[in-house]
Amino acid sequence: MSRSGIGALCLLAFSAAALAAAPAKAPDAAKPPAKVEAGKVTVVSVSGPAQKLIAAKGKDKWEAVKAGEELPENTIIRTGLRAKVVLKFEDRVEVTVKSGSQMGVSEFRKAGAASKVRMGLKYGRVRTTIRREKGPSDLRIATAVATLSVRGSGCDSGFGSSGLIVKSFASDWNLQYGTHRRTVRQGEKHKDPKKLGILATQQDNDPGMLDPFGSTNTEKNKYLHWKGASGFLGGGMNPSGFKGIIPGKKPAKLVIPTPTPTPPAVQPVPTPVPIPDPVPDPDPPPNGNGHDYQ
């Protein structure tokens, strides 16, 4: 038999196998979409003074955080000096709230293998570790100036008077401020006030001091008109600006979203939890220093 004959036989065999397998896949295609379920946030460990405020209770009463307890959505945690709280979002995410921090968990949902986590960081530091092997995770950490979203699996982030500083220790993370986007690569630390203006928030309202070459008029206008955004508890960024902690101005008051009635354990949704597309990286980096900006 010639080579072309053998090739034709192989092609026929593969086609027959594919046709035979097709009916077996039909039930999978008709499978209903994954159901969204509320996940459980567990306190793994607590050291030092730490308190929680559960917004769903409708009381402005802070209580001590205890190891082993479960936290509902819309819970705010604050730590004191020499304190640390470790939270576990089931088998997906582990968050370490370090000393002198205040953060909130606004949402934790699961849909099949996918998970969705929304957190806010008012001040302080958190370390986030994501187990990507368990499934795709849509995790976002909102601060008053920017939103950090997952692309990788681990990063340290801190928000204080120097602005937001992010260091990725595993894979890449996306950082978004308004229309600006930036990818923080593994082992890299975000520190570029001129491009994003994140570190500018606490620099005495003097954008001209940010870099030796000054800022463009567009950048100055952006720095001086940050207002109107909410950055806590998953509020994300409002492209129109910033409402937050600028020296000399009254900072934004922590706003907790009105708690909705407890959702049923299972909610039908037409589609699974959306996982954001990775931000395309410009190639090559425009400034040639290994950073990519959009």
Partner 1 sequence: MVALAALALPAWTGGCSGTGTVEAPKAELVAGEGSPGFLDRMSSQTEVSENDAMRGILMLLDGSDTAKTFADRVSALRQRGVVANHWDCKAARPIARGRLAYMLYQACKVPGGVVLTLTGPSGRYCLRELQYCGIMDSGSMFGSVTGLQYVTALTRADVYMETGKVPETMNPVGGR
Q: Using CB under 8 A, which residues numbered 249 to 278 contact partner 1?
A: 249-251, 253-254
Closest CA to 38 of 103, 107, 99, 88: 107
**Site size with partner 1, rule: CB under 8 A:** 41
- Of 24 and 64, nearer to partner 1 (C-beta) is 64
Strand partners, 137: 115
Measured between alpha carbons, how far is 193 from 182 in angstroms, rounded to an integer? Answer: 12
Check if the beta carbon of residue 244 is closer than 8 Å to that of residue 144: yes
Q: Which residue's entry shows tokens 């870099």?
A: 211
Q: Tell me, residue by residue from 205 to 244, as one string, x for binding to partner 1 by CB under 8 A and - for no binding.
A: ----------------------------------------
Q: Tell me, residue by residue from 78 to 117, as one string, x for binding to partner 1 by CB under 8 A and - for no binding.
A: xxxxxx--------------xxxxx---------------
- Of 39 and 244, nearer to partner 1 (C-beta) is 244
Of all helices (H) and strands (E), which one includes residue 218? helix 217-224
- Of 149 and 157, nearer to partner 1 (C-beta) is 157
Which amino acid appears at position 6 of this protein? I
Answer yes or no whether residue 167 interacts with partner 1 by CB under 8 A.
yes
Q: Select from 103, 105, 146, 166 the one that contacts partner 1 (CB under 8 A).
A: 166
Applying CB under 8 A, which part among 67-75, 230-238, 245-253, 272-280 lies near partner 1? 245-253
Angle (CA) 57-99-105 rounded to 5° is 35
Instruction: Please tell me whether the peptide bond between 284 and the residue prior to it is cis, using omega within 30 degrees of 0.
Output: yes
Q: Select from 35, 42, 49, 88 the one that contacts partner 1 (CB under 8 A).
A: 49
Q: Three-state SS for 49?
A: coil
Q: Tell me, residue by residue from 170 to 209, as one string, x for binding to partner 1 by CB under 8 A and - for no binding.
A: -------------------x-x----------xxx-----
Q: Three-state SS for 273?
A: coil
Q: How far is the CB of 138 from partner 1 (least distance, A)?
A: 23
Strand partners, 97: 85, 126
Dihedral of CA atoms 279, 110, 142, 236 in degrees, nearest 10, equals 80
**Residues forming the site for partner 1 (CB under 8 A):** 49-51, 62, 78-83, 98-102, 122-125, 156-158, 160-162, 165-167, 189, 191, 202-204, 245, 247-251, 253-254
